[in-house]
Amino acid sequence: MTVTGVGQVDAAKRSMLLTALYVAQAQHGYLTSEAMDRVAERLGMTPKEVYEAATFYSMFHFAPVGRYVIQVCEGLSCHLAGGAENILEHLQHKLHIKPGQTTRDGLFTLQMVQCLASCGTSPAMRVNDTLYENLTCDQVDIILDELRGG
Ligand code: FES
């Protein structure tokens, strides 16, 4: 049987896969190709299947990232709420980085994602595992201050 995408991996294997990828990412802060190969071997999958599944989820990273990964939603609901562009511009100004970059102190990485499954409470952004909804630029400042202090 050939499995070509995350949608064709059965639910049990997908659950194990996501857990294994999450654990692998926790070891280095991102998924190395060696880590994905090991996951593939242990789950009886091909490296391609694992890579395709991993790239489907915005929570996985494939290069070193900062301590805090800030993901700003640029999906339609957030765009229509008038937030995505404002939030992104504000973050770029405050952090002096563009999407895909990490601050020099290694604290923040900025990313754009398509949807954080929070369309009804847009605009939204996620920092590591924490979702922030109905976001304003003032709230972004508070969040950044808290993260710098913590
Ligand atoms: S479009 Fe932004 S959370 Fe869905």
pLDDT of residue 5: 52
pLDDT per residue over 1-56, tens digit each? 444 455 556 788 888 999 999 999 999 889 999 999 999 999 999 999 999 999 99
Question: How many whole angstroms from 114 Cα to the centroid of ligand 1?
Answer: 7
pLDDT digits (tens, 9 = 90+) for 53-89: 999 988 899 999 999 999 999 999 998 887 788 999 9
Whether residue 80 has its Cβ less than 6 Å from ligand 1: no
Distance CA 98, CA 83 (A): 17
Provide CB contacts within 8 A for 7, sequence distance 6+: none
pTM (2 d.p.): 0.82
Map residue 101 onto helix, strand or coil. Answer: coil
- Cα(67)–Cα(128) distance, integer angstroms: 8
> For a substitution probing ligand 1, which of 58, 71, 78 has the most ligand atoms within 8 Å of its CB?
78
pLDDT number for residue 30: 94
What number of other Cβ atoms are within 10 A of residue 121's Cβ? 15
The helix or strand, by DSSP H or E, that contains position 89, with its residue range, turns out to be helix 84-95
Inter-residue contact 57 to 18 (CB < 8 Å)? yes
